[in-house]
Structure 1
């Protein structure tokens, strides 16, 4: 027993002070460090190149919207990062003497075995490509995806992240996206129903409202054009409901509708004190 221990200790000592072994380990370590450094540099250069390329595109005739540019930049940069790290990982395995061909062959067989279980993943990736290249929505857009509503925080090849205004973050597999409503592409419309209790001259009320509406575009830059008084939407006894519409920049219809109701209340109280304002409500 003691003899075996002594032989093992002697062998370990020989290896510990084997100069050739330490040179090989040092050389391998330096190669690994060099691979990581080169991979990091290539990733940084690739990300910068993608950003500059799309900036040049936006200055040419083939223009790309800022919202889509942000999405494409992030997606392409992620693809570059994953690709370079995968190449670096394979190169490191080869450097330390691991048979890459055997691993790749085994991975191919394993890929066939698990292929049936990864159909959802493939579906998500394909759907993600279509979302991006069809420009269905982009990072920063306010959207409703299926039943989830909020601001798009991130679009990946597999999932889309939507942040609700109350703070919930929804992570939605791209393959499960069936319905998309994008609120950020076109102008919005504020629809205000303003109810009053009045038995007098309705023409006088309409003139006061129309005069007020002409002043609003100068006061609120979110309004695209002069709001329109469509007329009486309905009436019931002494209650008369007027409907007003206003075209606004995207997503500002709620804000403008609130401001219009406030402006109407103040102005009609000032000009026509005989009017009794009742409940106001808004349809968007």
Structure 2
């Protein structure tokens, strides 16, 4: 028998063997059973995650009516963290069950993963550092979801705090994802009241005492108009002498992160009040002299 005939015979034998396997009813029954198990696992996993999240939300709703409760910002952080932990746990169990449905020895794989994990653990120090740092951020309540913070060069609102990363949404909409292990210094603007500082310029020709009186009368009415103010703004007095103005300083204590809004509103109102009382807010002026006029005046002087 030639070599070509031998290879043809082997090929036919291989295809016959494959066709016999494909025609085996037990094989297709096993495949169908595995597919049904996987679909059932995915559906149950999705339901468990959804039911678990609803239970977490309901738990914190009950907490809001309790006499002893933690702050809303901390509740939002813990709620998001518990949802993430629930999702990770369900996904891990689902993957193990799917592998088991595919007749893969999960126990042997986990044992091997333990040995490999021990070797890889020395190179995963950054991951461990991220998780430990994330735990202490939440435990010490350094910042929470909804807080406005500055971390390094990034500044914005905390969208999510996980065990490994923190997401910060900047003012222009970008999402900055920071590993928790890289968070060294944090400036939290949302823990305490903010202060709006306003510098108001009055012309040197104006009556400073009258301007202070007008401003003081207006400031005493602001807390009724703006609930974001903690108390009446305070007129400190003359802050400095500018090139063409006397600068008066006003400070206003506001609720956390409301100082920008209050500052804009007060500047608008103060401009209208000063205009109403005829108090001039100076603006830059340019005076031009002609040399010819100056020379003519000298000749007339002679």
Q: TM-score, normalised by structure 1?
A: 0.89
Tell me which of 159, 163, 167 is aligned to 1:157.
163
Paired residues, what number? 278
How far residue 262 of structure 1 moved from its aligned partner, in angstroms, is 2.6
The residue number in structure 2 matching 1:75 is: 81
Q: Does residue 27 in structure 1 map to residue 33 in structure 2? A: yes
Deviations 1:109-161 (A, max 9, x none): 11111111111111111111111232222222211112311111222211111
The residue number in structure 2 matching 1:115 is: 121
Tell me which of 90, 99, 102 is aligned to 1:96.
102
Q: Pairwise mapping of residues 53-64 of structure 1 onto structure 2 (< 5 A)?
A: 53-64=59-70
Q: Distance in 1 between matches of 2:171 and 2:243?
A: 40
Q: Does residue 42 in structure 1 map to residue 31 in structure 2? A: no
8 Å CA contact 2:245–2:282 kept in 1: the answer is no
- 1:110 alignment partner, SS class: helix
Question: Between Structure 1 and Structure 2, whose CA radius of gyration is higher?
Answer: 2
Which runs of 5 or more structure 1 residues have no equivalent in the other structure?
A: 280-284
- 1:117 alignment partner, SS class: coil
Q: Does residue 18 in structure 1 map to residue 24 in structure 2? A: yes
The residue number in structure 2 matching 1:87 is: 93
Q: Distance in 2 between matches of 1:230 and 1:46?
A: 55
The residue number in structure 1 matching 2:14 is: 8
The residue number in structure 2 matching 1:138 is: 144
Deviations 1:170-208 (A, max 9, x none): 221111111111222222111112121234643322211
The residue number in structure 2 matching 1:282 is: none
Q: Does residue 180 in structure 1 map to residue 199 in structure 2? A: no
Q: Distance in 2 between matches of 1:34 and 1:236?
A: 76
How far residue 11 of structure 1 moved from its aligned partner, in angstroms, is 2.1
8 Å CA contact 2:244–2:282 kept in 1: the answer is no
How far residue 236 of structure 1 moved from its aligned partner, in angstroms, is 6.0
Distance 1:18 1:238, change over 3 A: closer
Q: Which has the higher contact order (CA 8 A, sep 6+)?
A: 1
Further displaced range: 218-227 or 108-117: 218-227
The residue number in structure 1 matching 2:250 is: 244
Q: Distance in 2 between matches of 1:34 and 1:13?
A: 30
Runs of 4+ off more than 6 Å: none
The residue number in structure 2 matching 1:234 is: 240
Q: Distance in 2 between matches of 1:127 and 1:146?
A: 16
Q: TM-score, normalised by structure 2?
A: 0.84
